[in-house]
């Protein structure tokens, strides 16, 4: 009975969080999730209603907002993941990808200007040179990189032109998360 | 961040693969790959581009590391229109630069979502440059 009530609380809190945004999640909610979400989450073959889908989305957002990947115990078919395939990035002794890239690029004359973005210090404002990266996967270990050239004035003009002509299309270029 | 860009996978980074699997290499190896890509490939390819004029020349070109078919060709064409106008190049000259790549520009436009053609986009960019950009540098 208590378990059922706690589960209902989580559902209600998850709905509130989904509406208010993950930043509003309270300690109470964190505690409720910790106490009730302890086993594997099972996906059945049955059809899923819109409400169930929204609830699942809210719970995932809640978990991602409150727990680091290391805290989330991923299991496979209810069994712990094989100990023979640990993720190399779970080691806290290893420098982060951010730190490694920043240090390597600092040695070749680039400084960090944003998350995963680095500017060539020797470049001029007329032709800025920027390197940027993206880490994908779970955990985020697959790294892609791009080198870009930018004249801010020319780029702003071009973006306005493309947007005017094709306002409902996304630009066909990678925009890294800022 | 930069409309005009190219993947480091074309520059010898990640052994030709599109991504670097950092889980399978050490941090030292990752550092080495990135440093090599920058010093041996990126800097020699674009290191000398320091002015708007050299940027225009680079954009007009079609060689590695950034051939037209691998770049944001719509934005690239508009930037050429902008810089060409700024340097006082004739509109015909700008068209001559862009026209060979109309196919790339067109292929980047999803016909299911818009009826805009590559020619129309280029015409608009050249016209916008004429009305908005004042030639400041004589070539």
Please give the residue range of the domain that contains residue B39.
8-46
Q: Are strands B4-7 and B20-21 parallel, antiparallel or unpaired?
A: unpaired
Instruction: Report how far residue B118's alpha carbon sits from residue B126's, in angstroms, rounded to the nearest whole number.
Output: 12
Rounded to an integer, what distance in angstroms lies between the CA atom of residue A118 and that of residue B51? Answer: 20
Asked if residue A138 is part of any domain, the answer here is: yes
DSSP string, A117-170: EEEETT-BTTBEEEEEEEEETTTT-EEEEEEEEE-HHHHHHHHHHHHHHSTTSP
| Domain-embedded: residue B137 | no
Q: Which residue has the higher pLDDT, B15 or A114?
A: A114
A120 and A173: one domain? yes
Query: Chain A partners of B22 at a C-beta cutoff of 8 Å?
Result: 89, 97, 135, 141-143
Digit-coded pLDDT (tens) for A127-157: 999 999 999 888 888 898 999 999 999 999 9
Is B8 in contact with A144 (Cβ distance < 8 A)?
A: yes
Same-domain check for residues B90 and B107? yes
Number of domains comprising chain B:
2
Q: With cut-offs at 50, 70 and 90, classify the pLDDT of residue B57.
A: very high
Provide the pLDDT for residue A133. Answer: 92
What value of ipTM does the predicted structure carry? 0.89
Quick one: tokens of A23? 């930043």
Q: Is the pLDDT of residue B5 over 80?
A: yes
Q: Do B122 and B60 fall within a single domain?
A: yes
Distance CA B102, CA B77 (A): 9
**Looking at the structure, do residues A73 and A131 belong to the same domain, yes or no?**
no
Q: Closest-CA residue in chain A for B69? A: A172
Most A-contacting residue of B34, B46, B110 (CB-CB within 10 A), to test interface: B34
Residues spanned by the domain of A55: 2-80
């Amino acid at each position: 009975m208590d378990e059922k009530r706690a589960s209902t609380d989580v559902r209600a809190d998850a709905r509130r969080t989904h509406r208010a945004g993950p930043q509003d999640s309270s300690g109470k909610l964190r505690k409720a999730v910790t106490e009730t979400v302890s086993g594997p989450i099972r996906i059945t073959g049955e059809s899923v209603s819109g409400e169930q889908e929204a609830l699942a989305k809210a719970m995932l957002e809640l978990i991602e907002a409150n727990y680091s990947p290391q805290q989330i115990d991923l299991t496979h078919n209810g069994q712990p993941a094989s100990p023979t395939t640990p993720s190399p990035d779970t080691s806290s002794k290893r420098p982060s990808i951010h730190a490694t890239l920043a240090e390597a690029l600092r040695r070749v004359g680039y400084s960090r200007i944003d998350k995963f973005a680095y500017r060539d210090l020797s470049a001029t404002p007329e032709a800025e040179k920027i390197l940027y990266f993206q880490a994908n996967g779970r955990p985020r270990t697959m790294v892609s990189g791009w080198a870009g050239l930018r004249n801010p004035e020319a780029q702003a003009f071009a973006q306005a032109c493309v947007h005017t002509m094709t306002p409902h299309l996304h630009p066909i270029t990678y925009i890294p998360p800022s | 961040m930069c409309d005009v860009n190219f993947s480091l996978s074309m520059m010898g980074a990640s052994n030709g693969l599109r991504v670097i699997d950092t889980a399978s290499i050490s941090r030292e190896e990752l550092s080495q790959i990135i440093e090599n890509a920058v010093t041996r490939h990126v800097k020699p390819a674009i290191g000398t581009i320091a002015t708007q004029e050299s940027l225009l020349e680079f954009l007009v070109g079609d060689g590695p590391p950034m051939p037209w078919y691998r770049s944001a060709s719509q934005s690239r064409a508009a930037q050429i229109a902008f810089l060409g106008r700024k340097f006082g190049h004739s509109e015909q000259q700008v068209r001559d630069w862009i026209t060979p790549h109309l196919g790339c520009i067109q292929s980047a436009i999803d016909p299911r979502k818009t009826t805009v053609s590559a020619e129309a986009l280029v015409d608009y960019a050249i016209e916008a440059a004429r009305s908005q950009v004042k030639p400041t540098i004589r070539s």
